[in-house]
Structure 1
Amino acid sequence: MKSSPVIALVGNPNAGKSSLFNQLTGLRQKTGNFPGVTVDKKSGPWSITDQLTANVVDLPGVYSIYPKSLDEQIVTDILANPAHPDYPDVAVVVVDASNLHRNLLLFTQIADLGVPVILALNMLDVARQQAKDVNAVRLAMQLGVPVVRINARTGEGIEPLKKAVLGQLRKPTLQEKLFFDPGEEAADLIADTKAQYQLGNNYLALQYVIQHDGFTFLNHQQQAGLDAIITKHQFNEPTFQAGETITRYKRIANVVAETVTDQRPADQATWTQKLDRVLLHPVWGYAIFALVLMLIFQAIFAWAQPFMDGIDTGVAWLNGRLKDSLPEGPLTDLLTDGILAGVGGILVFIPQIAFLFLLVALLEESGYMSRVMVIMDRIMRKFGLNGRSVVPLISGVACAVPAIMATRSIGTRRDRLITILVTPLMSCSARLPIYTILIALVVPNQRVLGIFNVQGLALMGLYLLGLVSALLAAYVLKLVLRSKERSFFIMELPTFKLPRWNHVALTVWESVRAFVWEAGRVILAISIVLWVLASYGPGDSMQRAEEQVRQQSQPLAADELANRIASERLEASYAGRFGHFIEPVIRPLGYDWKIGIALISSFAAREVFVGTMSTIYSIGTGDDEGVTIRERLRQERNPQTGDRMYTPALAWSLLIFYVFAMMCMSTLAATHRETKSWKWPMVQLVYMMALAYGAAFVTYHSLS
């Protein structure tokens, strides 16, 4: 036995595999890529005994070992290759006990590959609700492998699972006879394959024949050799696969008949089915989804506001205290006007981001998010997208990078490429700080009908605008990127469940931590660079700017003089000169050179915009250290007109710009990695920036 054996969790989508993974690994899990491919995997240590810790790998959910997408391919690529570093010493196949007939197909295929297997019977509570009873002992006798009853949501059955895993590690138990033996149907083909590739398992030899083009561990010469074997024996893959599936389901039907007792009347609907009649209705389904969205965005503003005000005031207070207590000098200015102002501009939005992830996690945990994907599939197909595109688009509300990576589940190349190109139009959490601070400036904090907050409605409108623009862009790309491939959307709807609060809390914690850590590192670096560029200028330009202010004939009050000096010095700095350099390009949108600096810096990441504005206005302000960034923006004046700088026309122009703008280098890098070309990231950058500029131009001049 290896010192650190590999335990693979395998199962159908929505069978509870990831829930079991969370139970086994807790907070010690980590995310990475499978060796040699850009498919995400989750892994983590599981302490089976005091002396033995196993590495648990959560494999992508699949219905069978015959893959239909990139993420499904990795499952067979691992299970068919004992040399793979993630090849399991034991595979725990998690099955939905309420739908054993379908789930056992994958189990029989994995068992036939010769992998030591344990069957984990999950969702037994759902089966009982459907008046089904599964006899685990009889099922173990029928299958010839250990069977363990578990509840992945609560952790029930973990101890018996540990014992079963230990038993399989010490003395592997395999079924005596293959559930489907290809040697009986194609003896010569299997014999030639086993002899040429030194294989000892008939079903593994069949996978070499059928799936060799997708196996990364076979070289070109080996793949060509398998093509020759197929030609020699005139092997018909589709016909053979169809026969295999029929044979397996016949055997499975006998197993289910012997082990499952179903006492529910055939015409009795479960409460999940009753709810689905409303939630999946062609009219009421969309109405309920719109109401859910409205409630989410209302909650983001209403619940988060007290926490935001507290953080905002606290950062401003800390900034003022540091300036009062620390000696004057460049280091104090860097700490307060640079680092604290920039990072503080992001910390204030943690409550809203946390509530967004909390509410989305509740929808996913309850099972409602799967219903959203189904009803949205009806719309997606009209715009040329695969129904599976719904998953990346919804994921894009959190972050475009993992959403683009999620397109690997889309089978056809064209649909996958279109989804990658339009996913960044969905408003991600990085845009949320920009949206909320600008909405707070120009949208009144009042209620409509005594229920709906106007600011929440405005936020919802921006998210819907992102969705509509993604669909329209997909439609245009469908016309440009022609393809004869047909796509299909198949999704099993999970039963409705009460959310697991520990899993919800874990999701929120991991999401907020990732957001703050990723954004914080970028903002810290940019804040330091920006402070240097805004605090120093070429030659003695900043000193001369200050002298010109002091030499003005009209006397100024002390506070006004300090503000004027700070503003003129900022304008004469390196950052100010760069802002003036690009100002002619952005002036038609209503933006000045200060906004230009923030636009350029936010190419690293959208959320940097707010941190940059915090830094710019901290440097460009005199003695009012206790004023928050929102108050600074409200007080900003247009130097040409003397009126408020952030008018509704300017604020909405910025909001619309950031709905469409591709201001995220990480997203471009993810697109490059997924498409293996710089062509498509450049297409993405050009069309989104052109769309952002045009839409912002129209918005500004329409509202001016």
Structure 2
Amino acid sequence: MHSNQVTAPARTAVVGLVGNPNSGKSSLFNLLTGLRQRIGNFPGVTVEKKSGKLKLAEIRTPVGTMDGEIAEDVRGVREVEIIDFPGAYSCYPTSLDERLVVQELTNPAGDLYPDAIVYVADVTKLDKHLLLFTQLRDLDLPMVLVLNMADLIEETGLKVDVERLSSRLRVPVVPVSARQGTGVDELKEVIADLLRNPEAYRPEEPFYEPGTRARDVLSELRRVLPARNNYHALLLAHHASWLKHIPEKTRHLVQESRVKHGFHSLRAQVEETMERYDTFEPIVRDTVRRGTNQSSLTDKVDNVLTHQIFGPLIFVVIMVFLFQALFAWSAWPMDGIEWIFESLGTGVRAILGPGWLTDLLVDGVIAGLGGVLVFIPQIAILFFFIALLEEVGYLARAAYMFDSIMQRFGLNGRSVVALISGHACAIPAIMSTRTIANWKERLLTILVTPLTSCSARIPVYVILISFAVPDVSWGPFGAQGLAFTGLYFLGITAAMLSALAFKLVLKSPERSFLMLELPEYRSPVWRNVGVTVWQKVKTFIVEAGKIILLISVVLWGLSTYGPPGAMDAARTQVQSQVETQGLDDDQAADLLASEQLEASFAGHIGKAIEPAIRPLGYDWKIGIALFSSFAAREVFVGTMAIIYSIGSTDDELRIQDRMAEEINPRTGEPVYNQATAWSLLVFYVFAMMCMATTAVTKRETGGWKWPIIQFTFMTVLAYVSAMVVYQVLS
């Protein structure tokens, strides 16, 4: 038996998902890839790149017979890589996200240049979403048009002639509902066919032809520009000054040619945009009919949620509910995780017996990780609410609603999205500022976003609030939950006032405008919410876990060992005190642990910085935690767990209980009294304790100047504020 077989090429085919913001592109990406996703950065920039694998059925075509058997020509693509490009409105970018799209789609030699484009458009707003489509079509890219939100066609009274639309636009058109999962199988078939036979999906003629002046420039530049066609060359001519794949020598040639032929880039962009609208709007009118009796629920809801008075009040209520739930709903799962780690530590100690390896695993690794991972429920709840607000379309309203207020503080309506996202993590929040076109507003947003309380602060807040606020409640509201909410609003207030201060110092002639498309209110796609929560929690565990594990092991070593002779001297001193004071075994163990910790390397570090932090109410043990926290805030709790578990054999993971037992030897009062707890809380609200955030700020601002300014002003603000709070309360 024989068969003729042609194998698929070795290179994994790349399919780009492109579309306007709020087109449902990311929902479709989640539907196509599920959990087969990777989160990284686009090459050379800090914009988050989502890519995933899509499995397509093989396409087998009979090609004849041999020895009575049917031979098959296998040309199907078994697995392709899907790249979810940032949302963009056109090939003439007004934000860094849009620039990235143009950068990648005009670089045929790049690793991310797609073999095909799946262009996602909201079917209810097709007349607004086809500008970028026609531009990419003219780049000679094989494309398929996805009419997303197909479930709303009947609901909104739309009538879409899909076949006629496909014929007029000269591309396959597939109605899809990413919410309901309909049309996905048809889309996969079209993608497979598109990759198998791309020549059949190339345009016969362009939607737009450059004008006379542009043609003069292009005829001269086509000899030096790596362009596939006239429109590709036109985009290179427009954007040569910043496109990374254009050689420096070619940039000068482009500029000289533009001046020579009187080519005015902005005027040419406007003329092209108007001409394109004149081309595709008649197509939309011819193929899409809107119902005559539409009543927009979105407009009715917006009358309340974006109201000048009620809107901000509702926003505050939503935020209070969010943070109250964050504190109250997570109690049971946190207790369960704490019990798991306690049992794990006890089991390891029972199995391995006494020894340095047991101490390392239990007091270092398990205590450090357990002290932080116990807060996963709260982190998951936070990301759940942020994803939910994004899904229903509320975050875009918040940006629109607060734009005028943000302008007074030197920020932008889009800054609201960054500040809210900062409550999850400052790193992607700072990256999201790429949608802010104005340089000054973007810079101010980057500088103040770390003041919003991120998820890494949650473990610190939960531990310290128990010492700062009594556990009392009034109905569904608890004093500790309200204090938790207050810390978040304190961070927001500090961010706004800091932005105002920077606004007065930094001067910029640029005027700011907010261009934002408000999506329709829709019920959330729970699949998207679940995928978001899973990805963010997984990233937190992996990224924070690596830092915590490393620092936990180092701290255990620093806390267990000391300078030559110091630990022996501590043991001798403890033996003398035990005999003199007649202490029992438990008291002797606690005293030995305390004296050895003070004699250890960690103790020496804490003692060295204690004079500087004593005005804030902190002792040398807190100093160790502060020192280690500058790598990442969440390390504070892990450090506390290690410091207070060294040498102890009972309840080693009950951090709060051990901290509550700490007594200040100078005053005889608890170390973690109300004044110290509030001082620490304020310090952690304001302090810049995240090296990863500093690195991202450096990447986004292009140098070390602004990260140094950011770190300095936040640290000084934290120190002074914490000192004032402690001195007043004590």
2:204 to 173, 176, 179: 176
Aligned to 1:581: 608
Aligned to 1:491: 516
TM-score for both structures, normalised by structure 1 = 0.96
- One-letter code aligned to 1:249: Y
- One-letter code aligned to 1:93: Y
Aligned to 2:148: 122
CA distance in 1, matches of 2:110, 2:351: 59
Aligned to 2:637: 610
2:601 aligned with 1:565 = no
Q: Which moved more, 1:629-638 or 1:124-133?
A: 124-133
Secondary structure of the structure 1 residue equivalent to 2:111: coil
Aligned to 1:502: 527
TM-score for both structures, normalised by structure 2 = 0.93
CA distance in 2, matches of 1:344, 1:187: 66
C-alpha contact (below 8 Å) 1:79/1:115 kept by paired residues = no
2:312 to 280, 283, 286: 286
Question: 1:519-530 maps to which residues of 2 (within 5 A)?
Answer: 519-530=544-555
2:282 aligned with 1:254 = yes
Inter-CA distance 199–586: structure 2 relative to 1 (3 Å threshold): closer
1:205 to 211, 217, 233: 233
C-alpha contact (below 8 Å) 2:574/2:591 kept by paired residues = yes
CA distance in 2, matches of 1:222, 1:601: 49
- One-letter code aligned to 1:460: T
1:42 to 43, 50, 70: 50
2:691 aligned with 1:683 = no
Structure 1 residues not aligned, in runs of 5+: none
- One-letter code aligned to 1:528: V
2:563 aligned with 1:535 = no
Following superposition, the deviation at residue 185 of structure 1 comes to 6.9
Aligned to 2:660: 634
Aligned to 2:69: none
CA distance in 1, matches of 2:228, 2:634: 56
Q: Which moved more, 1:511-520 or 1:548-557?
A: 548-557
2:349 aligned with 1:323 = yes
2:725 to 689, 699, 704: 699
Following superposition, the deviation at residue 654 of structure 1 comes to 0.3
Secondary structure of the structure 2 residue equivalent to 1:609: helix
Inter-CA distance 520–256: structure 2 relative to 1 (3 Å threshold): same
CA distance in 2, matches of 1:255, 1:501: 35
Give per-residue Cα distances to partners, 1:511-542, cap 9 Å, x unaligned.
11111122221111111111111111212222
CA distance in 2, matches of 1:301, 1:210: 52
CA distance in 2, matches of 1:279, 1:290: 12
Q: Which moved more, 1:625-634 or 1:519-528?
A: 625-634
Aligned to 1:72: 98
CA distance in 2, matches of 1:11, 1:143: 16
- One-letter code aligned to 2:691: M
2:431 aligned with 1:405 = yes
Question: 1:184-203 maps to which residues of 2 (within 5 A)?
Answer: 186-197=214-225, 199=227, 201-203=229-231
Aligned to 2:478: 453
CA distance in 1, matches of 2:649, 2:121: 65
Inter-CA distance 116–440: structure 2 relative to 1 (3 Å threshold): same
Aligned to 2:583: 556
Structure 2 residues not aligned, in runs of 5+: 1-7, 59-75
Secondary structure of the structure 2 residue equivalent to 1:401: helix
Following superposition, the deviation at residue 614 of structure 1 comes to 0.4
CA distance in 1, matches of 2:101, 2:348: 55
Give per-residue Cα distances to partners, 1:600-647, cap 9 Å, x unaligned.
01111100000000000011x544336611111122222222222211
CA distance in 2, matches of 1:626, 1:400: 32
CA distance in 1, matches of 2:224, 2:336: 71
Secondary structure of the structure 1 residue equivalent to 2:83: strand
Following superposition, the deviation at residue 199 of structure 1 comes to 4.0
2:241 aligned with 1:219 = no
Question: 1:20-419 maps to which residues of 2 (within 5 A)?
Answer: 20-50=28-58, 51-52=76-77, 53-169=79-195, 170=197, 171-183=199-211, 186-197=214-225, 199=227, 201-265=229-293, 269-419=295-445
Aligned to 1:433: 459
CA distance in 2, matches of 1:231, 1:540: 78
Following superposition, the deviation at residue 150 of structure 1 comes to 0.8
Following superposition, the deviation at residue 186 of structure 1 comes to 4.3
The total of aligned residue pairs comes to 700
- One-letter code aligned to 1:607: E
Q: Which moved more, 1:621-630 or 1:216-225?
A: 621-630
Following superposition, the deviation at residue 492 of structure 1 comes to 0.9
CA distance in 2, matches of 1:175, 1:128: 31
CA distance in 1, matches of 2:213, 2:204: 19
CA distance in 1, matches of 2:470, 2:405: 33
Following superposition, the deviation at residue 376 of structure 1 comes to 2.5
Inter-CA distance 178–626: structure 2 relative to 1 (3 Å threshold): closer
Q: Percent identity?
A: 50
Inter-CA distance 589–323: structure 2 relative to 1 (3 Å threshold): same
Aligned to 1:592: 619
Secondary structure of the structure 1 residue equivalent to 2:644: helix
Following superposition, the deviation at residue 479 of structure 1 comes to 1.4
Inter-CA distance 172–80: structure 2 relative to 1 (3 Å threshold): farther
CA RMSD of aligned residues (A): 1.8
- One-letter code aligned to 2:642: T
- One-letter code aligned to 2:28: L
Give per-residue Cα distances to partners, 1:388-435, cap 9 Å, x unaligned.
222222221111122222222221222222221111111110000000
C-alpha contact (below 8 Å) 1:545/1:569 kept by paired residues = yes
Aligned to 2:492: 467
- One-letter code aligned to 1:510: Q
- One-letter code aligned to 1:237: S
CA distance in 2, matches of 1:622, 1:208: 67
Inter-CA distance 107–591: structure 2 relative to 1 (3 Å threshold): same
Inter-CA distance 329–199: structure 2 relative to 1 (3 Å threshold): closer
Runs of 4+ in 1 over 4 A off after TM superposition: 183-186
Following superposition, the deviation at residue 372 of structure 1 comes to 1.8
